[in-house]
Structure 1
């Protein structure tokens, strides 16, 4: 293995984290709708209270009933996620900031897609290889049986359901087909005005009662998620690594740049996550 001394000038170990993490935080919707946690530990634990101590109306001079809180913990083990970018050696010899940007964006986009797919996509076959996301929670979430593309009533019900658990939804996330159907809703029969409203500069305003409506192609078709950001966490190991190798692509005069990070998701109150999906 031979490292390019030219690449090292702008892709040293001190730059590995920012080169991947900063674009990832921008590009990954999963990291934007959850609370990112960075750790040096191989296992991260979220302690939580499952039931509070109780109070009771008590007569004067009477003994106060003793009660205790109950708790448990959510254990999160970050799993390995790797991305690979291949660049020409001519580009590798360019030490301008543009070269660093090209490499960083290519790697971070691929990693962001994989993180979003794990967070919103179908249940993984092997959770020791890929972390379980929202679909992995199954019956643990609160389900609302409705077509998410049919109208806004189900989203209003989702906001009320979250409030029953004492939380506020910070975002709804749907796939592009559902977002398109919602954008075509009109203010009334015979009207051509979109229900979401339009702005002079920002087009259709995607929000439902003030809650942003976000779009990801990773969301399973026919599903919408209501997510409380303070109850959902993305745990990322700090030991992001970037390795530069010229040997694998020697015959094509190219250089491979590999980025590896470890990430997983922690859902400390899954019942406060609302899933809108039509009944099977």
Structure 2
């Protein structure tokens, strides 16, 4: 392992890098629902099934029908997510303490920008990264249940099966507010539970980055629902780390002189790609 007191670049031990990646996947509602593939640095061509084979009844000795799936391909390309964290210089005296701090801080930051981008709240990093910004939207309005059923129907009409929800904290609040004619909550068994584990039989995962406030004529975005077998993400290698104690950082209007303030900066990067059949997903809006 590199001596982090005398170098500006380190490679995390594989178990630490794996733990950070695992925690990113746990923090990200999108990653918990989508399928993961191994992504080489040059990218990966993903086959997307656009039509299923059709079976048929046949009589004895009759010719069997020939029917193939129809496919199109997409290139999944890796794009870089990076974040700089500053910590006290004292952490460099104890590598274990530094790693513990990285594991605590980094996953949420990396997961937030990934989820925000996938749902369309943040601009995509490039043309080969899919987002749900153009997905069909269902408005909760005054009837949350009807909107959820409409999403289920639309996904089915496009050949999918709604099997998961990724929502922001405000979306969770809207779901908790939904009641029947007797003022009983629709999506929890009793008010002491608070969590919404499933909707229409499908699991629900929450990340606050999935919410986008209303802007002008655009309604607030609460989350996304769809057929997650039609969504894939991939990562290249693990988390890459670089450390500096000499740089001057700018954060908004604040300037941080690392040497003067006895601090170090930790730059963390991951490369990740995302592809999906957007027609099999519905945005959930206010």
- Tell me the TM-score range normalised by the shorter chain: 0.7 to 0.9
Corresponding residue number in structure 1 for 2:160: 167
1:207 and 2:198 are equivalent in the alignment: yes
The answer to whether the 8 Å contact 2:79/2:125 transfers is no
Corresponding residue number in structure 1 for 2:240: 241
1:271 and 2:279 are equivalent in the alignment: yes
Corresponding residue number in structure 1 for 2:211: 219
Distance 1:7 1:35, change over 3 A: farther
1 CA distance for matches of 2:21 and 2:279?
30
Aligned pair partner of 2:176 in 178, 183, 188: 183
Distance 1:60 1:148, change over 3 A: same
Question: Which stretch of the first structure deviates more once superposed, 61-70 or 28-37?
Answer: 61-70
Q: What are the within-5 Å matches in structure 2 for residues 88-237 of structure 1?
A: 88-96=88-96, 98-122=97-121, 124=123, 127=126, 131-135=129-133, 138=134, 141=135, 143=136, 145-147=138-140, 150-189=143-182, 191=183, 193-199=184-190, 202-217=193-208, 218-220=210-212, 221-237=220-236
RMSD: 3.4
How far the C-alpha of 1:13 sits from its partner, in A, is 4.7
How far the C-alpha of 1:78 sits from its partner, in A, is 1.1
Query: For 1:168-191, what per-residue CA distance to the aligned partner results, in whole angstroms no more than 9, with x for missing partners?
Result: 2222233333322321222324x3
2 CA distance for matches of 1:125 and 1:203?
33
The answer to whether the 8 Å contact 1:3/1:246 transfers is no
The answer to whether the 8 Å contact 2:225/2:283 transfers is yes
Question: Which runs of 5 or more structure 2 residues have no equivalent in the other structure?
Answer: 213-219, 248-257
How far the C-alpha of 1:257 sits from its partner, in A, is 1.5
The answer to whether the 8 Å contact 1:33/1:227 transfers is no
Distance 1:194 1:255, change over 3 A: same
2 CA distance for matches of 1:24 and 1:132?
19
1 CA distance for matches of 2:106 and 2:16?
11
How far the C-alpha of 1:35 sits from its partner, in A, is 1.5
TM-score (norm 1): 0.78
Question: Which stretch of the first structure deviates more once superposed, 36-45 or 49-58?
Answer: 49-58
Q: Secondary structure at the match of 1:127?
A: coil
1 CA distance for matches of 2:4 and 2:144?
56
Q: Secondary structure at the match of 1:240?
A: strand
Query: For 1:204-227, what per-residue CA distance to the aligned partner results, in whole angstroms no more than 9, with x for missing partners?
Result: 445322223333332332444212
The answer to whether the 8 Å contact 1:80/1:261 transfers is yes
Question: Which runs of 5 or more structure 1 residues have no equivalent in the other structure?
Answer: none
1 CA distance for matches of 2:108 and 2:234?
18
How far the C-alpha of 1:198 sits from its partner, in A, is 3.5
Aligned residues: 266
The answer to whether the 8 Å contact 1:84/1:107 transfers is no
1:255 and 2:258 are equivalent in the alignment: no
Question: Which stretch of the first structure deviates more once superposed, 31-40 or 156-165?
Answer: 156-165
Distance 1:87 1:149, change over 3 A: farther
